[in-house]
Amino acid sequence: MFFLGFPLLLIPFVIYNIVAFIFRLPDDIWTTQATTVHMMSGQDWVLTWEDLLLAFSIFLLWIEIIKSTRMGMRSIMDHILAMALFVAMLVEFLLVRQAGTSTFFLLMIIALVDVLAGFIVSIRSSQRRLEIETDRAA
């Protein structure tokens, strides 16, 4: 599959940067109302653009964690690219004015969780594989 070769969290990172740098929209664009959902309870649930971007990012994080369960060279490259994305986001957060928002901070934390989960899942999977191989050799 095509999406297995690059970190999917690059997509919300690019969306954020396109909005922040190319469209030059106001800084509060992320907290403006995107839509309202009328709930059965009578409450109106107001969704902002930030909510939608973060929900989309969390969905992509779920896919990234599933991707991290496979073994091989492609998995190692995924981890390296995820780490590079996190470092790029951290540098941008610290040095670029447009990235100094809570929306970008939460995107960066989602990228950090992707990096940590990827390495932890890979380490745990390789330990189990080593134990299985050790049992067969005995």
Per-residue pLDDT of the chain in tens (138 residues, 90 and over written 9): 444 568 899 999 999 999 888 887 776 788 889 999 999 999 999 999 999 999 999 999 999 888 887 766 777 788 889 999 999 999 999 999 989 989 999 999 999 999 999 888 877 776 655 555 555 555
Tell me the whole-structure pTM to 2 decimals. 0.81
CA dihedral 54, 58, 60, 61 (to 10 degrees): 130
Distance from CA of residue 66 to its chain's centroid? 13
Q: Pick from 87, 82, 73, 69: which is nearest to 129 by CA? A: 69
